[in-house]
Structure 1
Amino acid sequence: MNNRIYLSLAHMSGHEQEFIKEAFDTNWVVPLGPNVDAFEKSLSDFLTHNSQLSTLNCVALSSGTAAIHLGLVLMGVQPGDEVICQSFTFAASANPIAYLEATPVFVDSERDTWNMDPVLLEEAIKDRLRKTGKLPKAIIPVHLYGMPAKMDEIMAIANRYDIPVLEDAAEALGSTLNNRNCGVFGELGVLSFNGNKMITTSGGGALICRTEEEAKQTKFYATQARDNAPHYQHSKVGYNYRMSNICAGIGRGQMFVLEEHIARRREIHDLYTELLKDVPGVNVMQNPSENYKSNFWLTCILVDPAKAGKTREDIRLAMDAANIETRPLWKPLHLQPVFANAPFYGNGTSEHLFDIGLCLPSGPTLTNDDIRKVVEVIKG
C-alpha cells in the first residue's frame, strides 16, 4: 500500500528532547516550571515583533479552547449574555460561550478572506440591541486557515460600540495583516498548539494578553483560582488549564522551526497555485491584497462543478482512494444541530464555501512530489 499523505503532520526540530530531558532531570514534570516560563517568553517576543505594542504577555494553557474560555471569563461573560462569534469556524471557537451559559450569536463570512463580515457584524450588534436592550458582551472573529480577517474594520466597529474583541488566531501564528501579527489586534488573542497546527506542544494553547494584570488573572483562573492564603481557599470558580512543563519543552523546541514552518507552508501554497492555475473550475484561496500575508496553515481550493466537471466530494473520495487525506471546509456553526436555536446573521457565503471547498495536504513534512501527486488526483 502506498504511504498515506496526511493533511498536516507535526514536524520536530530536534531540540524538543533536550528540553524534555531537562524537565525530567530536574523533576519538573508537572504543570508550570522553567519550560513554561521560557516558552511564554519566546511566544511573547515573536508576537511583539511588528505588533506596534511594546510588550505582550502570553500565558501557556492546556488548549486553545481553554484560552477562549478564560478570555471570555476575563471579559466578564455571564449566564444570559450574548457573544458574537464567526459561524464559519471549528466548534471550539463557540463551545466556551456555552460553557458559561451565554448565547452565541453567529455572523456569516465575506468572500475575500472567508472570515467575519464586518457589515453583518454591525447589523447583528444593532439588531441584538433592538431585540434584547443590551449589547453583546464580546466578539470572536477567527483567522480561518491562517488567513487574516478584516481586523481593521472589525476593530473599528467593536470600538464604536465598546465591545471587547477576543481574537481567535488558533490557526494563524505567523500570519500578518498590514505587517502586524495576527493575535494582537483584539483585547485578547488565542493560539493553538494542537498536533496539526503551525507548531505543536502535542496539545496546548495560549492566551495573548496585553497587560501583566490580564496575564496574572489568566494564571489565577487557570490554576484553580486559589486565593493567596496558607491553606486552600477559593473565592472564584477556577480551572485546571495550565500547560505542563513537559509540553512546554516541546513548544520551546518547536520555536526553532517556526519560521521554517511558515515559509514551507507558503511554498506549498505557491506550488499548488502554480500547478492548478490552468485547471478549469478549481481555484486556490489567495491573499486578497499585499496587506494580507497568510501563513497558509492549510491550502484550500474551491471547486465549481459546472466548470470542473466534478464536485468537491468527487475529489475528496478520489483522494481517499489514493490514500491522501483531505477535509471539507468547516461546516458553519449555525448549521450544527447543537447550535440550531442560536441567532444567525448571514448572506449564504459560509454555506456556499462549505459546499464547494476542500482543504489539501499542507504540512511541512510534505515533499514537492507529494504535492504533485495530490494535483494529479485533482486533475484526474
Structure 2
Amino acid sequence: MAPKDIASGTPFDLVVVGQGYVGLPLAQAAAGEGLGVAGLDRSQPVVDALNSGTSHIDDISDDELAAMLEQGYRATTDASVQSRAAAVVICVPTPLSDTGGPDLTAVTSAARSVAEHLRPGTLVVLESTTYPGTTDEVVRPILEESGLTAGKDFHLAFSPERVDPGNPVYGIVNTPKVVGGLTPECTATAAAFYSKFIETVVEAAGTREAEMAKLLENTYRHVNIALVNEMAVFCRELGIDLWDAIGLAGTKPFGYQAFYPGPGVGGHCIPIDPNYLSYKVRTLGYPFRFVELAQEINNRMPEYVVNRAMARLNAHGLALSRARVLLLGVTYKPDIADQRESPAEPVAKKLIDAGAEVVYHDPHVAAWSVRGREIERVLEPNAAKADLVVLLTGHREYTPDSLPAGVPVLDTRGSLRGAAGVETL
C-alpha cells in the first residue's frame, strides 16, 4: 500500500534520519506501537523503494515493510519533515576516514539539517556510534546554530544503537536501550520517548557515558576475537584442537564467555568502532595498546588464511598460483546478505594476487566484485570444479553434503569440523 502524502503537513512523533540497518528497524518498532513515523534518507532510490514496499535490509521483509506503510510510516528525502517532528533520531553511518580516524561527515551533515528545522521542545537523539564527547562537542554546537539552546530550548541525548543483523532472538524492542542526555531532564525525556516502544530503557549518567558504553561493548568483542585468532595460529603449531578447547572452557558456568577464531572481523561495528575509542585516547597523548594490537592481529588473519590455503594445496601437490579456489560465503556473518567490511574481500584479493583463480558461492549474494572485477558465482557448490574449498562464512546451507567430493576444504569457522577432507583454521 502506498503511503499517504508526506507533504500534507501532518505532524510526526518521530523522524528517523537514515533508513539503513539501524534506522529502518527503529522506525518499524516505533510505528508498530502506533507512533507517527517518517523515515528521512538522502537516497531517492531507497526512499522510492521503501514507499513502494521493497525493503533493502535483511531484518525487514517486504511484508513487514507493507505493515509499516499500513501503520502510516512513510519515507522521504524532504528534510523539512523534521520541523514537524516531536523527536528526531539520527542514525547515519560513521565510517573510518582514509587515515583511519573518525569520519563524522554524515553526522555533521545530519545535525546541520536538523538545526535548519529545529523547533523548541524537540527531542534530538544521536544513535550513530562515535567517540565520547561527540554529542556535546560536535552535535550540540551545530544544533545551537539554530538560535536554540540545548538542555533549555530543546532536548539532546545519545543512545547507542545495538542492532545485530540477522539475530532471531534480540531486536530493537527487546534489547535494553541505553540513553544519556545532556542534562537530567534531557535523559528523562529521551527515556520516556523510547519507553513508548522499547521494553527496557537504561538511563546513563550523561551523553559521554552512553557513548562509551557502545565502544566498550565492541572493544570487548574486538579484543577477545583477537585473542582466539592469535591462539588459533599457535595452537595449530602445538598440535592442539582449539575448537575442542573452547568447547571445554565453555562448560564452566561462570567467568568465561566463548569467542571463536575466523578469517578476520567484519560488519558495521567490530572493525570500526574500537578505532573511534583509540582515536579519542590518542588525543590525550596515550596509545590504546589493547585496541591497536587487536586490530593488528585481526587484520592479519586474511593473510594467515591464504597461507593455510597454500599449505593445504601443497599437501596435495598443487600450487596456489595454478589453483581454482572456491570461497563459500562472502558476507560478514551467517545467514544474512550484509557484506560490510567482510573479511572475504581481503582473502580474495590475496588469493588473486598469489595467482589463484577465485570463484565463490553465497546463497545471499547474487553478484560479487573484488577490485571492480566480477567474481564467478558457482550455483551448486557440491558440483563445482575446484582444487580447494575455503569456507569463510558459516551459512546454514553449508553442510558436508554441500561440498564437492574429493576436494580438500579449509574451514575458517569450525562449521564443518569432523567432516571428511575438512581442516579447520
Relative to the length of structure 1, the TM-score reads 0.34
Higher relative contact order (CA 8 A, sep 6+): 1
